[in-house]
Amino acid sequence: MSWHPLRRLTGWIDRRHGTWRGAVRSLLARLALAAGRLEPYQLRHPQRVRRVVFVCLGNICRSAFAQQVAIRLDMATASLGLSTTTGASTPDSALRAARRQGYDLTAHRAINLSDFEVRPGDLFLVMELWQARALRHRFGARDDVEVALLGLWCTPRQPHLHDPFTLSDAYFDQCFCSLREAVFALQRVVPQAGRGPQTAGARR
Edge-to-edge strands, sheet with 122-126: 77-81, 51-56, 122-126, 146-149
Give the active site residues: 56, 62, 163
User: How many CA atoms lie less than 13 Å away from 1 in the CB half-sphere?
Assistant: 3
Sign of the Cα pseudo-torsion (167, 26, 98, 102, in order): positive
Where does residue 107 rank: exposed (0-12), middle (13-18), buried (19+ CB within 10 A)?
exposed
Report yes or no: 151 and 160 within 8 Å, Cβ to Cβ. yes
β-pairing, 146-149 vs 51-56, is unpaired
- Residues with Cβ within 8 Å of residue 158, at least 6 apart in sequence: 26, 29, 151, 152, 178, 182
